[in-house]
Structure 1
Amino acid sequence: MSVDDRPATPEDVEALCLGLPEVELGVSWGDRPTFKVPRGAKGKGFVLYRRPHKTAIDPATGQEYDDLLVIRTATEAEKLALVAQGPFFTVPHFDGYNAVLVQESRLGEITLAELREVIEDAWRAVAPKRLVRELDG
């Protein structure tokens, strides 16, 4: 098994995000840790650690999810495609917003390569065009 074929882990999220050009870990939504591009005041979030909230309830337990990531998507179609394949999902609170949710505890249901693609696509959705060109060589 290659490294890319191994199950993804929560620790991979930070490494993958920070491995992209001009990314910093900042805050958004008040105080939520958020990976942003580019660095500085103009940075836009593409992966956010979401606090438990009544808008995202585990249907099996009735409890608020306590380990959610919000990951941007470029389009509604991309969002729906990710939701169709799981473990990504959405909630009504995110209707009209191009992003998916995933529990950190379920990242092992996808490979490192799949997580890398989702995170890179999220980065591309908000990164300045010059940085996208730089990444593409």
Structure 2
Amino acid sequence: MGRPRKARESDIEEVALALPRAVMVAGWGGLPSYRVSGRFFVGYRTPRPDAVDAESGERLTDVVVFRVPDEGDKLALVQGDGPFFTTPHFDGHASVLLRLAHLGRLSRDELAEVIVDAWRSQAAPTVVGRWEAERRDG
């Protein structure tokens, strides 16, 4: 068995839109945002003063936001050895950030897990339950 494939930017859209009731809409600055039943679960973020490159001081232009189920999940992702981070702007908000430049540090499966968890945290429980039952039975 080979090594897991590294995550690619195209995986974000592919995984997000494969989930029930997920749609892509224009989000921050017209950038892609993925919603389920009108609720945001993942999307690209415009450059902001709270997220800057440590070396250049320039605002990051490649940030993706992922909803997470709760603060515990957020802390696990941010404090883990993965590429996720947060900024003071997101204090108290159940979301984590990821630079596209660091996306390849995740496997496609790891990225998919974060996207699915984001979707689960925002989708209606009946939609999630039906989707999980189909996966179990299928």
TM-score by length of 2: 0.90
Give the distance between the partners of 1:48 and 1:123, measured in 2 at CA: 12
The corresponding residue for 2:47 is: 52
How many Å apart are 1:28 and its aligned residue?
3.7
| 1:76-126 deviations in Å (ceiling 9; x for gaps) | 010010112220000011000000000112110011110010000000010
Q: Structure 2 vs 1, CA of residues 30 and 103 (structure 1 numbering), >3 Å: closer, same or farther? A: closer
CA-based RMSD of the aligned residues comes to 1.5
Matched, 1:65 2:60: yes
- Equivalent position SS for 1:16: helix
How many Å apart are 1:57 and its aligned residue?
0.9
User: Where do 5+ consecutive residues of structure 1 fail to align?
Assistant: none
Matched, 1:83 2:83: no
Matched, 1:24 2:23: yes
The corresponding residue for 1:36 is: 35
| 1:9-54 deviations in Å (ceiling 9; x for gaps) | 111000000011111001345644210002xxxx101001100111
Matched residue type, 1:12: D
Give the distance between the partners of 2:71 and 2:118, measured in 1 at CA: 12
Aligned positions, number: 132
TM-score by length of 1: 0.90
Give the distance between the partners of 2:61 and 2:19, measured in 1 at CA: 26
Matched residue type, 2:132: D
Aligned partners of 1:28 and 1:45 also within 8 Å = no
Percent identity of the aligned residues? 42
